[in-house]
Amino acid sequence: MGISDRFSVKGRVVVTAVGLLCISLFLTAYSSKHPEVARAGSAVISEITAPVGRAVASVRAGARSAWSGYLYLRGVAAENDSLRLELGKIRGEVLALGELSRENARLRALLNFSQSSGLAGVAASVIGADATGWVRGIVVNQGSTSGVTVGMAAVHPQGVVGQVISVTPHSARVLLITDHSSSVDALVQETRVRGIIEGAGSSGCELRYVTKDAPVKSGELVVTSGFDRVYPKGLAIGRVSSVQSGDAGLFHAVRVKPAVDLQRLEEVLLVSAAPAPANGAQGGQS
């Protein structure tokens, strides 16, 4: 390849790159105004990757069970092999039963929560997480064939988890409340002070637009107001972890620690959008 050919190849690469860059900028601008484009593409990707996610999850579970059961016993003396193998199998079964029992307990808690709160929904298991590391989201194993739709709230017996942002026939993507794009209409339970919960990444959440004259203290429970018509009223979001009131500005800086441990989430309940409460917030402020 001659020098002119090399420059020609480099030039074509640069021209193509500039063209594709323009397309990507156009797509960014377009998809920010039309989120259904991203959801449609995500549906295709999720439909392809969900089986892989399930396979990875089952392989992990199998590997853990194998390590605890059979591999744990490798290297024992030869005369005890058969007995220990038997013991290993039994231990494996016990561990598997224990795992099933714990899963059963979690699902029972989810069912009890669904019945006691009157929220009819779809129970789903977490099968994946966001690949980029920039978006705080999870993938669950129930999709449109189970009745899941975009906009449904993902909840847990301990509180609010997030909102469904895209759905495929067999999986759905949930944006967690700690993501920066997430917002929830909320009330401080004791004082009925109203605000908007916004994601703050690893710091948890922030309760925004709470005026400085509103009484908010650390440790108070923040619940959903139901006014956003996404989350049913009265679900726990988290507890106030700190309140800062600087000299400047009109509002408190209120940090909220989510009620649900979002890192160790295994099952969620997906519930339909709730109608707005009729009576409104009593003594609501901001």
Partner 1 sequence: MRLVRLCVAGCVAILLQAGLAQAGLPGYLLPHLALLVVIQAAFLEHGIQGVVASFLVGLALDFSSALLVGPWAGAFVIVYAGLTILSRGLFVESPLVTVLAAFFSTVAANCFFSVLSPNSDLSVLGHLLHILSQAAVTAACAPFFLPCISYVSERRASPLRRVSSAAPAL
Strand partners, 160: 155
Query: In whole angstroms, what separates CA 74 from the centre of its chain?
Result: 39
For partner 1, the closer of residues 9 and 94 by Cβ is 9
DSSP 275: P
For partner 1, the closer of residues 173 and 194 by Cβ is 173
Q: What is the nearest approach in angstroms of partner 1 to the Cβ of residue 235?
A: 23
Q: What is the nearest approach in angstroms of partner 1 to the Cβ of residue 53?
A: 7
Q: How far apart are CA 182 and CA 152, in angstroms?
A: 13
Would you state the structure tokens that stand for residue 247, as one six-digit string? 């000299």
DSSP 272: P
Q: What is the nearest approach in angstroms of partner 1 to the Cβ of residue 122?
A: 19
Q: What is the nearest approach in angstroms of partner 1 to the Cβ of residue 80?
A: 35
DSSP 178: T
Q: First-to-last CA distance in the chain?
A: 69
- Nearest CA among 147, 145, 161 for reference residue 231: 161
For partner 1, the closer of residues 237 and 281 by Cβ is 237
Q: What is the nearest approach in angstroms of partner 1 to the Cβ of residue 209?
A: 14
For partner 1, the closer of residues 114 and 182 by Cβ is 182
For partner 1, the closer of residues 20 and 120 by Cβ is 20
List of residues 6+ apart from 165 with CB closer than 8 A: 35, 39, 137, 150, 173, 174, 175
Query: What residue ranges bind partner 1 (CB under 8 A)?
Result: 3, 6, 9-10, 12-14, 16-18, 20-21, 23-32, 35, 37-39, 41-42, 44-46, 49, 52-53, 56-57, 60, 127-137, 165-166, 173, 175, 180-181, 198-202, 263
